[in-house]
């Protein structure tokens, strides 16, 4: 077996780490993550993400780069004013002005970035190695004199001359820096290079690691860094960042806990944190994303579903509740009897063995057509197989919406049990206005939560047909519904009304007259 990291050839990291070792996380979502193309976070969004990071017990939060401009400084001040437990830092270039701007934002610390590779020293900054070493010591001393926690990071460190990188680190630590940081700025390094460089820095003092994923090695290089003696990891939520992104904070946290018993964060806050960052940045979570992707704890295969129903750990490395998730069993072409029976049982639908076989076959037929079988599809299939008439509680009779030239408005006409209800609403767009109208029509009768709202275009062109899939919950029940139409507003409202109807029919007590109305589409 090849020993990549120079330690034990079978367990190189386990030979270094044990449950008593402390590895800390520095989150740079608000700085390095925001530098990804197309991402611009508002002050309120940054504050919300910072609060979520604090709830997850992330000890260091890099709130931004104070040198960027007054708008960024106002945003950083918004974070520093929250009174969080985390140490709040600012990124600072190797000039005193940047440290002063960070101090003006009342941060707890700074990460001072200085050029490390010759291309950065000579071509980017236009200085010399000696000049970098001298400036580093002066800036660290200045920042420490002003009461800041200080980390020094050599930019493009993985392509720097190692002896020079050590010179920078020695200058920083001699001047009082709390730690230095190895930076694989362009995701260039192999695990062997990372281990060699971090080992040299770790001999001098505390060292962090900052890895990017351009070669798909960000996590591997984190392991190499920790095996070499690093005790802090820079990362971003969901791995967002420039180019291929940074190492994903949530992946580092769960992997260290699960594999090595090293706790770095409050794990059950990771999924809510990931969702918040995805919504704020507009960068959706890939379905197959580790830890937080939709498919991470979702099972369709009949063999896997059957095994999971018998033993939760059969096809999962750790329980979904560990990271704030829930297990999902979905139906499609790979569905088996056990999965379909379990899904029907969730909706209190009893079927005979003969009817179950028929339902399974119908589910597989839909799946063969490339369709994901939603809860509403399954219930409709079961009703048809058993010859049952559907008992509707809520039905959309009419919908009109307008958005041109002013405030978007919509009106709906619903049948609720034996009554017709008409209501109108306004919103930020026609979908929002239509959902507001539905909420107004139902009044306080339906306590339904819109858990997810997803739109896919299934044809091209200006007359594209879209599919809207919603997941809604009512009490301890939830249901997914998908509808397709060329009108996204009607499609959205029909999906939500269908979901509401299914939930309310299934609820034993139906409307209780005490709950609040459904949330807005953007809640």
pLDDT tens, residue by residue, 273-302: 999 999 899 898 888 899 998 778 776 544
3-class SS at 94?
coil
- In the chain the domains, ranked by start, together with CATH numbers, are 24-281 (3.20.20.70), 294-386 (1.10.238), 394-506 (3.30.160.270)
Q: What is the mean pLDDT of residues 338-365?
A: 79
Provide DSSP, 14-33.
TTT--TT---EEEE-TTTTG
What pLDDT is attached to residue 447?
A: 65
pLDDT value at position 304? Answer: 46
Residue with tokens 């999971």: 308
Q: Note whether 19 and 261 are within 8 A (CB).
A: yes
Q: What is the pLDDT of residue 1?
A: 35
pLDDT over 90 for what percent of the chain? 52
Q: Which two tokens stand for residue 188?
A: 């260039």
- What single-letter DSSP state applies at residue 487? -
Q: Which residue has the higher pLDDT, 460 or 328?
A: 328
Q: Outline where 82-190 has alpha helix (H).
A: 96-104, 118, 129-145, 162-174
pLDDT of residue 458: 58
Could you read off the pLDDT of 125-178 as tens digits, one per residue?
899 999 999 999 999 999 999 999 999 999 999 999 999 999 999 999 999 999
- Structure confidence at residue 346 as a pLDDT band (50, 70, 90): confident
What average pLDDT does the structure give for the chain? 85
Please report the pLDDT score of residue 374 as a whole number: 72
Answer whether 167's CB lies under 8 Å from 133's CB: yes
Q: Which residues contact 259 (CB under 8 A, 6 or more apart)?
A: 13, 14
Asked if 232 and 206 count as a contact pair (C-beta separation under 8 A), the reply is yes
Residue range 466-522, pLDDT digits in tens: 788 888 877 667 788 888 888 888 888 888 888 888 887 776 444 433 333 333 333
Q: Note the pLDDT of residue 2.
A: 44
| Mean pLDDT to the nearest integer, 182-207 | 96
pTM score above 0.85 = no
- Sign (positive/negative) of CA torsion 166, 172, 175, 178? negative
**Collapsed DSSP state (helix, strand, coil) of residue 71:** helix
Lowest mean pLDDT among 43-47, 101-105, 351-355, 509-513: 509-513
Report pLDDT digits (tens) over 435-449.
888 888 887 655 677
Judge whether 200 and 162 are in contact, CB under 8 Å. yes
Cα–Cα dist 90/410, whole Å: 46
């Amino acid at each position: 077996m090849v020993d990549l990291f120079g330690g034990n050839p079978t367990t190189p990291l386990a030979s270094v780490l044990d449950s008593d070792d402390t590895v800390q996380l520095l989150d740079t979502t608000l700085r390095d993550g925001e530098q990804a193309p197309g991402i611009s976070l508002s002050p309120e969004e940054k504050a919300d993400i910072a609060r979520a990071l604090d709830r997850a017990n992330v000890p260091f939060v890099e709130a931004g780069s104070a040198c960027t401009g007054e708008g960024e400084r106002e945003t950083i001040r918004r974070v520093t004013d929250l009174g969080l437990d985390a140490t709040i830092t600012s990124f600072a270039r190797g000039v005193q002005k940047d440290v002063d701007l960070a101090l003006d934002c009342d941060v707890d610390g700074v990460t001072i970035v200085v050029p490390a590779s010759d291309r950065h020293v000579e071509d980017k900054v236009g200085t010399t190695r000696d000049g970098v070493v001298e400036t580093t010591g002066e800036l660290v001393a200045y920042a420490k004199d002003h009461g800041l926690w200080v980390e020094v990071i050599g930019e493009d460190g993985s392509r720097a001359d190692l002896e020079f990188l050590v010179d920078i680190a020695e200058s920083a630590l001699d001047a009082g820096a709390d730690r230095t940081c190895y930076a694989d700025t362009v995701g260039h390094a192999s695990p062997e290079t990372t281990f060699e460089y971090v080992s040299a820095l770790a001999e001098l003092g505390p060292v962090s690691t900052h890895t990017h994923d351009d070669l798909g090695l960000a996590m591997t290089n984190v392991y190499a860094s920790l095996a070499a003696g690093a005790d802090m990891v820079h990362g971003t939520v969901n791995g967002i960042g420039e180019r291929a992104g940074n190492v994903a904070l949530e992946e580092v946290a769960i992997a260290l806990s699960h594999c090595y018993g090293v706790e770095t964060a409050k794990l059950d806050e990771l999924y809510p944190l990931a969702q918040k960052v995805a919504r704020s940045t507009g960068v959706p979570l890939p379905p197959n994303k580790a830890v937080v992707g939709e498919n991470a704890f979702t099972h369709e295969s009949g063999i896997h579903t059957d095994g999971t129903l018998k033993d939760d750990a059969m096809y999962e490395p750790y329980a979904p509740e560990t990271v704030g998730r829930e297990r999902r069993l979905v139906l499609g072409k790979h569905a088996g009897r056990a999965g379909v029976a379990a899904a029907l049982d969730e909706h209190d639908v009893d079927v005979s063995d003969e009817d179950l076989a028929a339902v399974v076959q119908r589910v597989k037929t839909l799946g063969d057509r490339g369709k994901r079988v939603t809860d509403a599809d399954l219930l409709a299939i079961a009703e048809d197989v058993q010859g049952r008439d559907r008992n509707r509680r809520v039905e959309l009779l009419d919908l009109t919406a307008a958005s041109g030239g002013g405030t978007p408005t919509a009106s709906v006409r619903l049948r609720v049990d034996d009554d017709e209800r008409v209501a109108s609403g306004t919103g930020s767009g026609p979908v929002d206005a239509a959902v507001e109208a539905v909420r107004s029509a139902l009044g306080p009768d339906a306590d339904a939560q819109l858990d997810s709202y997803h739109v896919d275009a299934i044809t091209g062109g200006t007359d594209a047909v879209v599919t809207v899939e919603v997941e809604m919950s009512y009490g301890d029940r939830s249901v997914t519904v998908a509808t397709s139409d060329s009108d996204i507003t009607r499609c959205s409202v029909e999906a939500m009304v269908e979901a509401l109807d299914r939930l309310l029919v299934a609820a034993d007590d139906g409307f209780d007259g005490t709950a609040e109305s459904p949330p807005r589409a953007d809640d």
